[in-house]
Amino acid sequence: VVDVLVLSPLGVRRDRQRQGIGAALVTESLAAIRHRPEPLVFLEGVPAYYPRLGFRSASSMGFTPPSTRIPDAAFMAFPLDAYEPSLRGALVYPDVFWRADAVGLRP
């Protein structure tokens, strides 16, 4: 078992979108956690948005999502300083994600 980080759910109110708030939240979060001992940060997100912030397809890196409710294109990861390319496996969400119904993209 390897501890990882998860940066979702994350959202910006619709009337505040397209002002750089989301990008700033993600960029600052990644800067704050870059040197932590965990190797990766995962998220469920819009495939057209997060790759420009350095996220890539988690499945192409050898990881499987914690639920079939997460489309493959939305399952992304960002390698941190401790990342080793040989790391593979299934992401397992803690129970609180399921209790809060915070798994899977929403329209």
Residue 32, token pair as written in the block: 């704050």
C-beta separation of 65 from 97 below 8 A = no
**pTM for this predicted structure:** 0.85
State the CB neighbour count (10 A cutoff) for residue 61: 16
Instruction: Report pLDDT digits (tens) over 61-85.
Output: 999 999 888 999 999 999 999 999 9
Distance CA 94, CA 107 (A): 23
Average per-residue pLDDT for the chain: 90
The pLDDT of residue 106: 56
Residue in the block written with tokens 């499945």 = 59
